[in-house]
Structures are given as structure tokens and as C-alpha cells.
Chains A and B, each alone.
Chain A
Amino acid sequence: AQTVTQSQPEMSVQEAETVTLSCTYDTSESNYYLFWYKQPPSRQMILVIRQEAYKQQNATENRFSVNFQKAAKSFSLKISDSQLGDTAMYFCAFTAPLINAGNNRKLIWGLGTSLAVNP
């Protein structure tokens, strides 16, 4: 079964510090994409960062970076210099094939990690 596990339901971090959110997944596919999305209290789902499984280099987007370990099926998110605006639910997801959909893919989602950044 294709699954995503986020083992930390809740985390907290002090403003300006660094925090790492963990994510492991299970798939038999060889090529896929991984994503981290954040959902702040406004409930809008916002893309944070993405990684192609074929690329060994870890993706970075400003203060956000990932540690992608393909063999271990691990995709953790590191947030540096945490800011109050980073307070949100963070979801890990990866692409999986859709039936009768050609090259279209669906996203398999984890249950999320609730991150609180404290002043």
C-alpha cells in the first residue's frame, strides 16, 4: 500500500531556531515527486517545497530545505530561523498513479504535523 507517515503529530520551536519535521513513505514506484505543503489557520494549502525522486540533490527554498533519503524512503523538512508565520499544519505528500489517467498522478498525503512557533 502507498502510505505516508508523519510520526510527530505536534511540535513546537522557539522563534529563530531550527526545527525538523519527519516524513517516511512507502511506494513501489521508481520515479515520483515529493512535496511539503503548509496549512496555516486560514486553512489555505500552500506549497512549501518539492523534490523529484530521481534527483539526489536536496531541494531548498529560502529557509526551507529537505533531507531526502530515497533508499530509506525518508523526506524530512528543515525550517531554519523559524518565524511566527511558520505556525501551521505541515503535510508531506508524494505522487502516485491514477487509474485510467495516463500520466496524471494523485497525491498520497500524511496526517500532518502541527507546528507552533513560540515567541
Chain B
Amino acid sequence: DGGITQSPKYLFRKEGQNVTLSCEQNLNHDAMYWYRQDPGQGLRLIYYSQIVNDFQKGDIAEGYSVSREKKESFPLTVTSAQKNPTAFYLCASRRFGGGQPQHFGDGTRLSIL
């Protein structure tokens, strides 16, 4: 079955450490997105990508980086510059076309050790 796979489900970061969250989709979707979800704040867009080797900053990109070397993959790195990384991270993808909805992975919970 097609879908979006995020791994790991839980991740712990030490102070000063960079960590990478994986997102893979086999839906042949063009666009991919990373969101951060905090309690009481809804979803906020971190980065998005429309095609391979192209990505743009969203609303809260500071302290994060991404790459899009393959259409299927859009990994997110949480760098040591992100001082408050504890959150639930959701990856999404969608096909281009009016009204096409975003499809989501199961998320990664990142916590500070």
C-alpha cells in the first residue's frame, strides 16, 4: 500500500547534537512538507519542497535544514541551533492539482535528554 513512512517514531537529542528525521513516500507525490506540532499551537510549517533539489523555508525554519535529493525522500535535520526542539514532527506530501489534500505520516516525537 502507498503511504508516507516517518522514522523513528521516538527520538532523543542531547545538547549540541544534530538529529535527522526520516520521511519517505511511495505515493509519487510532487510536493513534500515538514510541520511542527506543539500543544495548543496547531501545526506550523517548517520547510516545503516542490521538486527534487529544490526546497523553501516555511514559517519557522530557523534551526532546521532539509534536503530533497530524491522525489521519495525529504529528511529533516534538527540542528543544535534549534533551542527548543521538543515537539511532534509531521511530514506530509501531496500531488499537484487544485484541491489535492496533503497526506501525512505517523509523526516523530523528538525530546531533549
Residues in A lying within 8 Å of B, measured CB to CB: 33, 35, 42-47, 50, 52, 91, 93, 98-104, 106-107, 109-112
Residues in B lying within 8 Å of A, measured CB to CB: 31, 33, 40-45, 48, 50, 56, 58, 88, 90, 92, 96, 98-99, 101-107
Give the secondary structure class of B's interface.
strand
- Nearest chain A residue, comparing its CB with the CB of B59: A106
Pairwise interchain contact B98-A91, C-beta atoms closer than 8 A: no
- Nearest chain B residue, comparing its CB with the CB of A4: B42
Pairwise interchain contact A43-B99, C-beta atoms closer than 8 A: no
Q: Separation in Å of the B34 CB from the closest CB of chain A?
A: 12
Pairwise interchain contact B99-A50, C-beta atoms closer than 8 A: yes
Contact residues in B for A101 (Cβ distance below 8 Å): 48, 50, 56
Pairwise interchain contact A43-B31, C-beta atoms closer than 8 A: no
How far apart sit A104 and B88, CA to CA, in the bound complex (Å)? 24
- 20 further A-B contacts with Cβ under 8 Å, apart from A47-B101, A107-B43, are A33-B98, A35-B101, A42-B106, A43-B107, A44-B107, A45-B92, A45-B107, A47-B103, A50-B99, A52-B98, A93-B43, A98-B48, A99-B56, A100-B56, A101-B48, A106-B45, A109-B42, A111-B40, A111-B41, A111-B42
